[in-house]
Amino acid sequence: MKKTKSPYPDWVIKHRKPGTEVRLMRGKFYIYEVSSVYDKEKKRARKITGKYLGKITEEEGFVASNFVKVPKSLPLINENKITTREYGMGAFLEHYCSDIIDILKIHFPEQWEWLVACLYGRLVHSSPIKNIGYYFKRSYLRESINITLNPKNVSQLLRDVGKNRTPLQNYMKSFLGSSVALIDATSIVSYSKNLERNHVSKTKNGTYEPLFNLLYFYQPGTFTPAYYRLFDGNIKDIKMIQMAVEESGYKDALVIADKGFCSDENLEILDHSNLKFITPLKRNSTFIKKELISDLPKGEQMFLFAGRIIYYTSYGCPDPKVKKKSSKKSERPLRRIHIFVDEEAMIKEKKDFVHRMNKHPQTYTKEKFQEKLNEFGTFVAITNLEEDAEVIYQYYKSRIGIEVLFDGVKNILGNDSTYMQNNDALEGWMFINHLTLQIHHKIYQLLTTYNMISKTSVRDFIEYLSDIRIVKVNNKWIMETMPKDQQNLLSKLNLSIT
- Residue 133 binned pLDDT confidence (cut-offs 50, 70, 90): very high
Determine the pLDDT at residue 77: 42
- Residue 71 binned pLDDT confidence (cut-offs 50, 70, 90): very low
- The pair phi, psi for residue 27, each rounded to 5°, is 80, 5
List Cβ<8 Å contacts ≥24 apart for 259-267.
261/237, 262/382, 264/320, 265/238, 266/237, 266/238, 267/335, 267/382
Pairwise pLDDT comparison (343 vs 270), residue with the higher score = 343
Determine the pLDDT at residue 301: 93
Mean pLDDT score, 169-185:
76
Per DSSP bridges, beta strands 253-256 and 181-189 are parallel
- Residue 381 binned pLDDT confidence (cut-offs 50, 70, 90): very high
Mean pLDDT score, 432-451:
90
**Whole-number Å distance between alpha carbons of 111 and 128:** 19
Instruction: Read off the amino acid at residue 72.
Output: K
Order of strands, edge to edge, in the sheet holding 469-473?
82-86, 469-473, 476-479
Whole-angstrom CA distances from 414 to 186, 212, 438 are 11, 11, 16
> Using an 8 Å Cβ cutoff, are 307 and 313 in contact?
no
- Residue 400 binned pLDDT confidence (cut-offs 50, 70, 90): low
- The pTM assigned to this predicted structure is 0.71
Query: What's the mean pLDDT when you consider all of the chain?
Result: 82
Determine the pLDDT at residue 2: 46
Provide the sign of the torsion angle of the four alpha carbons 418, 419, 420, 421, taken in this order. positive
Determine the pLDDT at residue 47: 74
Determine the pLDDT at residue 318: 67
Determine the pLDDT at residue 64: 73
- Residue 324 binned pLDDT confidence (cut-offs 50, 70, 90): very low
Beta bridge partners of 62: 56
418 pLDDT more than 90: no
Q: Hey, which of 52-56, 415-419, 467-471 has the most confident mean pLDDT?
A: 467-471
**Whole-number Å distance between alpha carbons of 11 and 8:** 8
**Tell me: the pLDDT tens digits for 331-341?**
556 899 999 99
Beta bridge partners of 231: 213
Pairwise pLDDT comparison (190 vs 347), residue with the higher score = 347
Mean pLDDT score, 388-407:
77
Instruction: Read off the amino acid at residue 77.
Output: I
**Tell me: the pLDDT tens digits for 23-37?**
887 778 878 777 777
Provide the sign of the torsion angle of the four alpha carbons 98, 102, 107, 112, taken in this order. positive
- Residue 68 binned pLDDT confidence (cut-offs 50, 70, 90): very low
Whole-angstrom CA distances from 441 to 6, 86, 225, 344 are 37, 22, 8, 31
* Low-confidence winner among 114-123, 299-308, 313-322 (lowest mean pLDDT): 313-322
Determine the pLDDT at residue 196: 85
**Tell me: the pLDDT tens digits for 73-126?**
434 444 445 588 999 999 999 999 999 999 999 999 999 999 999 999 999 998
H helices within 128-253, ranges in order? 132-137, 151-163, 165-173, 237-248
Determine the pLDDT at residue 224: 80
DSSP 147: B
Mean pLDDT score, 359-373:
88
Q: Hey, which of 64-78, 171-185, 286-300 has the most confident mean pLDDT?
A: 286-300
* Low-confidence winner among 148-162, 250-264, 319-333, 369-383 (lowest mean pLDDT): 319-333
Distance of CA 480 to the CA centre of its chain: 32
> Using an 8 Å Cβ cutoff, are 303 and 312 in contact?
yes
* Low-confidence winner among 264-273, 399-408, 412-421, 448-457 (lowest mean pLDDT): 412-421
Pairwise pLDDT comparison (180 vs 324), residue with the higher score = 180
Determine the pLDDT at residue 211: 87
Residue 439: closest CA among 131, 188, 122? 122
- The pair phi, psi for residue 71, each rounded to 5°, is -60, 145
**Whole-number Å distance between alpha carbons of 468 and 482:** 6
Which residues does 446 contact at the CB level (< 8 Å), separation at least 6? 461, 493
- Residue 388 binned pLDDT confidence (cut-offs 50, 70, 90): very high
- Residue 472 binned pLDDT confidence (cut-offs 50, 70, 90): confident
Rounding to the nearest 10 degrees, give the CA dihedral for residues 144, 426, 179, 95.
10
- Cβ atoms < 10 Å from Cβ of 291: 8
Kindly state the percentage of the chain with pLDDT values over 90: 30
- Residue 416 binned pLDDT confidence (cut-offs 50, 70, 90): low
**Whole-number Å distance between alpha carbons of 279 and 427:** 30
